[in-house]
Amino acid sequence: MTEVYAIKLLEEATFEKLRPELLKLLPAQTCNKVNAFHHSNDSQRSLLGELLARQLLKKATGGPLPHEAFMPGEKGKPAHQGIQGVHFNITHSGEWVAVAISSNHVGVDVEKIRRIPDGVARRFFSELENQWLDAAKNEDERKEIFFTLWTLKESFLKAIGKGLTKSLSSFTILQKENHEFVLEQDEETLGYHLHTYPFREGYKLSVCAKNKAFKQEVSILKIKDLIENNTESYERKTHGLGLNAED
């Protein structure tokens, strides 16, 4: 089963108050990476992605993780050394951070829907994908198609660990009559499956996995869910900050 979890960024002032306590939950090497960002929201995206991934790995393995940073695996994807049979991938865009976890290779991508950059589709999409995009009835539908394709293609490249070192136009994503998506025209796509999730308005989230079973909804978590094992110090320091409010 492939599952996806997401968490929304905190207000910047709230995050900065919590930053010292949250960093205590991460290895020193990871803290250095988080603190190297110049902008607070970039630090928060990195920190929340790491915390969320570690929480899910802990749940999947049934025990605490060694206090070590994620290291690049065989194909450059972040991985936790010594853990077998559990794969994860991290993504973020705008106000959201998401992590996919699966029993086999997995990639996930979330994108905030925005104006389509000029020329990107012609450069990165296959001929069939551009035909689908050109058939859009209006600009809103065009954005919907573009970011569906983009997140699906990105999630596949992340699943195989190649990122943009592999051309996005070298493979094609087709939509079937049942609204499912399939990968074609590339031998590396064999055995991989795609799923696009209904997510928050203004965002598109897709996942690719070498596992055919997908949990049908994204699970939304909050900061308190990530650090529930540190309840005493956490609740004392965060009292009154409104972290239990709904999105």
Residues 21 and 109 in one domain: no
C-alpha distances (whole Å) from 231 to each of 15, 180, 242 are 17, 42, 15
Statement to judge: residues 147 and 195 lie in one domain: yes
- Residue 7's pLDDT is what? 97
- At residue 186, the pLDDT reads 78
- In this prediction, residue 242 has a pLDDT band, given cuts at 50, 70 and 90, of very low
For residue 230, the model assigns a pLDDT of: 46
Which of 91, 49, 125, 52 is CA-nearest to residue 205? 91
| Angle at alpha carbon of residue 188, lines to 183 and 192, rounded to 5° | 50
Convert the pLDDT of each residue in 40-69 to its tens digit: 999 999 999 999 998 898 888 887 776 777
Distance CA 193, CA 114 (A): 26
Question: Alpha-carbon distance 126 to 191, whole Å?
Answer: 20
Highest mean pLDDT of the ranges 73-77, 95-99, 238-242: 95-99
Least confident of 7-11, 28-32, 168-172, 229-233: 229-233
Same domain for 184 and 199, yes or no, is yes
β-strand pairing of 193-197 with 172-175: unpaired
Residue 99 resides in a domain: no
Determine the Cα–Cα distance for residues 160 and 208; give it in Å rounded to an integer. 9
Return the amino acid letter for 55: Q
Is residue 89 in some structural domain?
no
What CATH code is carried by the domain that includes residue 169?
A: 3.90.470.20
Q: What residues contact residue 97 under an 8 Å CB cut-off, 6+ apart?
A: 6, 7, 8, 9, 45, 48, 49, 52, 90, 91
pLDDT at residue 4 tops 80: yes
What is the identity of the amino acid at 95?
A: E
In a domain, 149, yes or no: yes
Determine the structural domain holding residue 228 and report its residue range: 10-84+217-247
Residue 102 token pair = 């699966």
Most confident of 9-18, 217-226, 227-236: 9-18
Q: Domain check: are 141 and 151 in the same one?
A: yes
Looking at residue 168, its pLDDT comes to: 83
Q: What is the model's pLDDT at position 101?
A: 95
Q: Average pLDDT, whole number, for the chain?
A: 86
In-domain check, residue 133: yes
Binned at pLDDT 50, 70 and 90, residue 228 comes out as: confident
Q: Is residue 94 part of a domain?
A: no
91 domain-assigned: no
Q: Are residues 112 and 182 in the same domain?
A: yes
Residue 2 has pLDDT above 70, yes or no: yes
pLDDT at residue number 13: 96
Rounded Cα–Cα distance for residues 245 and 241 (Å): 9
Please compute the mean of the pLDDT values over residues 188-211 and round it to a whole number.
93
Q: Please give the share of the chain, as a percent, with pLDDT higher than 70.
A: 85
What span, in angstroms and rounded, lies between the C-alpha atoms of 206 and 28? 31
Q: Quick one: three-class SS letters along the chain?
A: CEEEEEEECCCHHHHHHHHHHHHCCCCHHHHHHHHCCCCHHHHHHHHHHHHHHHHHHHHHHCCCCCCCCCEECCCCCEECCCCCCCEEEEEEECCEEEEEEECCCEEEEEEECCCCCCCHHHHHCCHHHHHHHHCCCCHHHHHHHHHHHHHHHHHHHHHCCCHHHCCHHHCEEEECCCCCEEEECCHHHCCCEEEEECCCCCEEEEEEECCCCECCCCEEECHHHHCHHHHHHHHHHHCCCCCCCCC
**pLDDT tier at 224, thresholds 50, 70, 90:** confident
Do residues 113 and 47 both lie within one domain? no
Least trusted range by pLDDT, from 73-82, 204-213, 233-242: 233-242
Q: Is residue 19 located within the same domain as residue 123?
A: no
Query: Does the pLDDT at position 233 exceed 90?
Result: no
Same domain flag for 238 and 211: no
Lowest mean pLDDT, pick from 27-36, 154-163, 195-204:
154-163
What was the pLDDT predicted at 91? Answer: 96
Query: Using one digit for the tens of pLDDT, what is the confidence trace for 84-137?
Result: 788 999 999 999 999 999 999 999 999 999 999 888 999 899 999 999 999 999
Same domain, 174 and 185: yes
Domain count for the chain, please give it: 2
pLDDT at residue 161 tops 60: yes
Is 113 in the same domain as 79? no
